[in-house]
Structure 1
Amino acid sequence: MINKTLNYKRDPNLNNEELIKEAKLTNNKELRDKIINNNIPFVKSLADRWYKRGVREEFDDLLGMGMVALMKAYNTYDTNKNIKFTSYLGKVVWKEFMAHSRYKSMKCRSKFSSISFNETLHKSKGTDEEKLLAEVISNDSHLDYLTVEDEMFNTHLVKQMDALLAKKERVVADKYFFEGKSISEIGVELGVSRQAAHQAFQRTIKRLKPIYTNWEVV
């Protein structure tokens, strides 16, 4: 289970852009995993910031969304565009949180949330993660592309879910990805414990991981 005790340390000297280009050109899975693991602390920072805003989400659920978004960001990142990977990753994760919040009918607009988030950053201590977070909200130039890509990916995801998932796993995936339900809510609806729901979710993610890591916009 993904949780707050994950102890990955970010190497600030790692060049995401160059390594992603190399990993994709050579199909190097070890290098891909190195990049993903190096960016987990940033994803945790995003999840932690969102959690501290008092949202009605458990941290594990937010981190689960963030990890899925991290795999998706790696896979869809265009190395030919003049955009830092951390900026792109932050937008993908942030957009995932916002989409989930809209579904849950939270009374906050994207603009207001960005402003609140920005104000929180100015009160922070200025760590490496905080500086990266500040970059995330600095410009939205690639969000239009991301929206179009989301629609294409979701169509592809549905087809692959039909092919790869068992019946129970498909139910979990539908509720999590398309209905915006939390792990706890899924457990209640399925009549199982939160731990059992988490285990089903982890099996689902494991089966779907190749989709996120091999998806390309064509």
Structure 2
Amino acid sequence: MNLFDPSSVQHWLDLAGIFVFAVSGALLAVRKDLDIVGMAVLAEATGLGGGLLRDLVIGAVPPAAVTDLGYLLTPLAATVLVFFLHPQVERINRAVMVFDAAGLGLFCVTGTVKAHAHGLGPAAAVAMGLATAAGGGVLRDMLANEVPSLLRRDREVYAVPALVGATAVALLIHTGQLTPVTSGLSATLAFVLRLLALRYNWRAPRAWQPRGRNAGPDVPGV
């Protein structure tokens, strides 16, 4: 396999995204005091959920998640790593957020690229990039009996960094400037934006309320 071939780069980016997302899933399982089976389930769901959704929507069937052995084994490797080397309990939540942000950045790139390769236009490709980036985290949180971060108003912006990264990739494709380097920079952009949102508590705006009226019930935001 030529490591500089675009398809090879896509494959390794996919595996990297799967691994870091799977680590976040396994760490959340530790925080929830689940056993190793629960850790493996959350790792697999987090690592493969977004890509599985993307492939089903764009017609890339059977999905790579069930045909590539590396895709299936990578979350298990992440589970073993977390099982033996997870950080101290008080640091687990921060680690989950950092690995989740890394997965968000990588998957918004790979999802957009793969959607474009299957003939989708820029807007649809960006939407698939967002779905790839956020899908695994949503599935992880639902399995762990938590409201997904994507839908919680009291959580820092989650979808916006992935949307920015996916849009950057779509623009690079449109201008013929997409390379492994620019792909990495796009992933880094989304990753850094997510970390900044966590650091400075950036949140998306709520629905506008006319002055003098009482705010209605809390509505989840992005």
The TM-score, its normalising length taken from structure 2, stands at 0.39
The TM-score, its normalising length taken from structure 1, stands at 0.39
